[in-house]
A and B are shown apart, each in its own frame.
Chain A
């Protein structure tokens, strides 16, 4: 096989090496983006929490942000689980009543945090995904959020009407039932 020019010849990162070639620091654009997508959703969810429940103390939120930063640095560890569990627990403790639409936003943040962290753990933190990978992840997340939004609509309607109508229950069950088929169709 003969050498040929690389397809991705544009530099995607900044590397600092010592005299022996050992990397001291590597900053890549995908690495920065993944870290932002790990920390910002947690900060956003905590912002929503303090908007909904303004009188709650700040220190647990600061701890959670710190945990998110740690998770971003060591994505292939249990730090992400602790952060996500802590975020949801803090939400359930701090927000007394059901707020479905705010909860939908928090659910979106949780999903983005989870997926970004999972992607960061798939290799070195600055690994560059191709556009096909990004499109695929975005499509899957969109589908999941679509189903979650459907669920939130059902919950909201059920809360307003007291008793959920049979049609909505049927639609919800159909959505849940259709999901494996959709997944199999998309991936197959």
Chain B
């Protein structure tokens, strides 16, 4: 049995056209015949039910894109009747721009690779990071006069992974505690590297190409050029996902605290991984994701971005504050991204600092959230919390923990320089 069904347009043309034609002939009104003529012609033209069997397919079932990137979703409809058209509608979703918003009507042949086929291309632009399943698109086919309809039939919706944007971080400041074996940080100890340390007498095992001939000739003893070893740093990006403060309206609009945290984490991870450092992330307050162990390389960046997509803030509460320290040793650079709304975040920062870990708190509270002038109980409670928050950040600063508001890629430059300068200062830590 064919799926073609007559439409209201067909009914309209048949009923009005033939009735007016008959009435005109019966009462002898030529103008009625003229008025009925177009509808009768349309009726005759589309009298026959199409005998084709359309098929609609979409090659895209899963896609990974960046926030704000525009991609084309495509559906191919084959088996359209001659002169037929197809309507393709992709459903809208929150924080997803669909263009054309109300669907697309394409013609068989002219809009397709061959007769009887049409290709519909609809632009999709995700406005926020995350992993989502898009709604099921629908396709309906019509004959040339919209008198017969096939469908609408649903197509498989697409699984879309939207990676957070990674705006380039132009930061030349070094990480404070390089510890690994490879990388581009200058280590504290001499070794194989590129950065000059000193000229010293030749020793067993020194390479001949390191001999400094001018000094050797002047002193009469072989001297070599010693360098600092090049090593990497362990950077831990800690994300406070207990709360998502503020409203998110996409990449072009307002940003919530979670938006700022995720995008900042992506930027920081990309920056340090490109320098050859080992980067790991740890998320607090999100159920599906907890941590990505530290590693280096571009694959690690992709692993981190994929993990950041999965964060659903506020889905796990009451985690042990000591969990922040697991796997992090002294010398690790910990970058805590938090709006500092939950007291647990401040507690974790203090624990990390006591363990000798360099912590930089990156404040992700959206700008303007601190100013609350309402008189409702909620507004008063928020104002009290903001006052407490101010006290807590002052206490953190007194402990030597920098609290930097995230204002883009350059937020950390001066802080990292200060930490590098401070690393030579001896201090007591709890082991």
Contact of A76 with B105 at beta-carbon distance under 8 Å, contacts A107-B35, A155-B30, A155-B33 already known = no
Q: Which segment of B5-13, B231-239, B291-299, B422-430 sits at the interface?
A: B5-13
> Cβ of B107 and Cβ of A132 under 8 Å apart?
yes
> Is B37 an interface residue, CB under 8 A from the partner?
yes
**B residues 59-86 touching A (CB-CB < 8 Å):** 59-60, 63, 65, 69-72, 74, 81-83, 85
Most buried by A among B69, B96, B102, B103: B102
A76 to B11, CA, bound (A): 11
A22 to chain B, nearest CB (A): 8
Within 8 A of B (CB), among A143-188: 144-145, 147-148, 151-152, 155, 158-159, 179-180, 183, 186-188
A7 to B95 Cα, complex, angstroms: 21
B107 contacts A136, C-beta separation under 8 Å: yes
Residue B284 at the A interface, CB < 8 A?
A: no
Given contacts A123-B105, A151-B37, contact A118 B9 (CB under 8 A): yes
Interface presence of A114 (CB below 8 A): yes
Interface centre among A15, A140, A187 (most CB of B within 10 A): A187
Contact size class for B? 35 or more
Q: Is the CB of A107 within 8 A of B37?
A: yes
Q: Mark A109-127, 1 if CB is under 8 A from B, else 0.
A: 0110011011101111111
Interface residues of A in 89-110 (CB under 8 A from B): 91-92, 95, 98-100, 102-104, 106-108, 110
How far, in Å, is B61 (CB) from chain A's closest CB?
10
B94 at the A interface (CB under 8 A): yes
Q: Does residue B99 face the partner (Cβ distance < 8 Å to A)?
A: yes
- The distance from the CB of B80 to the nearest CB of chain A, in whole angstroms, is 11
For the complex, give the distance between the alpha carbons of A21 and B94 in Å: 4
B105–A128 CB distance below 8 A:
yes
B144→A4 contact, CB < 8 A: no
B42: interface (CB < 8 Å): yes
**In the complex, A124→B74 CA distance in Å?**
19
Contact B102 A31 (CB under 8 A): yes
Q: Given the complex, which residues of A lie within 8 Å of B60, measured CB to CB? A: 1
Report Cα–Cα, A5/B145, bound state, in Å: 32
Closest-CB distance, B57 to chain A (whole angstroms): 12
Q: How far is the CA of A13 from the CA of B59 in the complex (A)?
A: 27
Of A11, A19, A158, the residue contacting B99 (CB under 8 A) is A11
Enumerate B14-53 residues with CB–CB distance to A below 8 Å.
15-16, 19-20, 23, 27, 29-39, 41-42, 44-45
B122 at the interface (CB under 8 A from A): yes
Please tell me if B187 contacts chain A, counting CB pairs below 8 Å. no
Also in contact, A26 and B35, with CB within 8 A (given A119-B146, A187-B83): no
Name the residue among B29, B32, B37, B81 with the largest chain A CB count within 10 angstroms.
B37
User: Given contacts A12-B100, A80-B8, A118-B146, is CB(A6)–CB(B35) below 8 Å?
Assistant: no
A85 contacts across to B, CB distance below 8 A: 15-16, 19
B369: Cβ under 8 A from any A Cβ: no
Report the nearest A residue to B247, measured CB to CB: A19
Q: B38–A110 contact, CB under 8 A? A: yes
* Bound-state Cα–Cα, A111 to B69, Å: 43
Partner of B35, one of A17, A91, A124, A127: A91
The answer for the CA separation of A30 and B101 in the assembled complex, in Å, is 11
Q: How far is the CB of B124 from chain A (nearest CB, A)?
A: 8
For residue A115, give the distance in angstroms from its CB to the closest CB of chain B. Answer: 8
**Docked-complex contact B111 and A148, CB < 8 angstroms:** no
Closest to B120 in A: A130
The listed residue (A6, A118, A186) touching B121 by CB distance below 8 A is A6
Alpha-carbon distance between A111 and B122 when the two chains are bound, in angstroms: 30
CB within 8 Å for A111 and B82 given contacts A4-B72, A20-B94: no
With both beta carbons as reference points, the residue of chain A lying nearest to B31 in the complex is identified as A103
Contact A17 B87 (CB under 8 A): no
In the bound complex, residues from chain A placing their C-beta under 8 Å from that of B39 are: 84, 110-111, 114
B122 CB to nearest chain A CB (Å): 7
Say whether, besides A8-B99, A28-B102, A103-B35, A76 and B92 are in contact (CB < 8 Å): no
The residues of A with any CB-CB pair to B shorter than 8 Å are 1, 3-9, 11-13, 15, 17, 19-21, 23, 26, 28, 30-31, 75-78, 80-81, 84-85, 88, 91-92, 95, 98-100, 102-104, 106-108, 110-111, 114-115, 117-119, 121-130, 132-133, 135-136, 140, 144-145, 147-148, 151-152, 155, 158-159, 179-180, 183, 186-188
5 extra interface residue pairs, beta carbon distance < 8 Å, beyond A121-B7, A122-B149, A130-B104: A5-B72, A26-B102, A127-B105, A133-B105, A148-B37
Interface residues of B (CB under 8 A from A): 7-9, 11-13, 15-16, 19-20, 23, 27, 29-39, 41-42, 44-45, 59-60, 63, 65, 69-72, 74, 81-83, 85, 87, 89, 92-96, 99-107, 109-111, 121-124, 140, 142, 144-147, 149
